Amino acid sequence: MITALRWLVFAVAALAMNFPILVTLATSFKSARELSTNPGLWVQAPTLANYLAVFQVTDRLNIALYLFNSMVAALTGTMLAVVLALPAAYAIARGRVGERTLLPLIVNLRAVPLIIFAIPLYMMFQWLALLDTRLGLGLILTIVNLPLALIILVNAIRELPAELDEAAQIDGAGRTRTLVRIIAPMCRPAIVTSLIFGFITAWNEFLFGLMLTTSKAVPITVGASFFFAASGGGVQWGVASAVMIVGALPPVLLGLVMYRQISGSMTAGAVKG
């Protein structure tokens, strides 16, 4: 009896929390004609026309480009964050360098509203000609990803036995060599977790994409919102829905495949940060 009630609560919660996604998914398979007559969740005559329309380039909208921009900027922001954080995490965990200053500073960065840096960054990017570039957006996404990457990697390195380093030291390897040859391979699960988490965060970022890009480097989160503005009063809801589904797919697929790693790192970041 109580088990049935639990299943009922699960079903209601899952439906309520995923409701916008389900509605958008259903709408993306509706024809324009069905849309005007059937606002419900059930699709009477499913069609793929909306998905084909997504990739038709118009002079104002280029969804394929937005997807490409998101991919390049998110990969840049994800990998650069790990490349910067891994050696620093090693220095913090083993060398006690910056343990009292650098680590708390970056950890607290996660709680600071990043908009306070947005205006100077906008001006700086103007001087450096980084406005509306994928590289520029990738650099900002690196800042967004750094705190969690550093926390995950410091925790992982602290859990490795110190004898590993000492043995390498005795064999005459320098710190850098030890990091590359021994520590990094041992931390592979933590590195993968930071990459997955970073990619999802970076792909889903909106504020800096909105501020720092205008046309050439627009990411999909911002491009999808153009879609609503560009079509004026009459939004093509079917195509708009298909755009949103396509734009949500990469992080959702990654998240569904790797949800165990993600749930673990979310807890680590929340409790130890």
Partner 1 sequence: MTTTSPSARTPEFRLLATPLVLFLLVFLGFPAIVNLVYSVSQVSFETLRSPQLSGFSNFAAVWNDTSFWRSVWFSLRFGALTALLECGLGLFLAIFLSPLIVKRSWLLAILMLPLMVAPALVGLMYRLVLHEFVGPVPHYLWIWFGTGVSFLGPGSAFWTLAAVETLQWTPFALLLFYMAYQAIPADIGEAAAIDGAGPLRRLWRIELPLMAPTIVAALLIRFIDGFRVFDNVYVLTGSGPGGATASLSIYIYEAFFKQGAIGKAVAASVLLFAASFAVLYGLNALATRRKGATA
Nearest to partner 1 of 65, 97 (CB atom): 97
Nearest to partner 1 of 29, 90 (CB atom): 90
Q: Please name the amino acid found at residue 123.
A: M
Nearest to partner 1 of 62, 243 (CB atom): 243
Considering the complex, what minimum distance in angstroms separates the CB of residue 31 from partner 1?
13
Nearest to partner 1 of 105, 230 (CB atom): 105
Considering the complex, what minimum distance in angstroms separates the CB of residue 199 from partner 1?
11
Considering the complex, what minimum distance in angstroms separates the CB of residue 41 from partner 1?
6
- The full length of the chain comes to 273
Considering the complex, what minimum distance in angstroms separates the CB of residue 52 from partner 1?
20
Burial of 82-92, coded b for 16+ CB within 10 Å and e otherwise, reads: beebbbbbbbb
Considering the complex, what minimum distance in angstroms separates the CB of residue 195 from partner 1?
15
Nearest to partner 1 of 146, 195 (CB atom): 146
Nearest to partner 1 of 68, 117 (CB atom): 117
Nearest to partner 1 of 58, 271 (CB atom): 271
Considering the complex, what minimum distance in angstroms separates the CB of residue 226 from partner 1?
11
Considering the complex, what minimum distance in angstroms separates the CB of residue 2 from partner 1?
9
| Cβ atoms of 21 and 248 closer than 8 Å | yes
CA 56 to chain centre: 26
- Please, what is the Cα angle at 42 between 259 and 31, to 5 degrees? 100
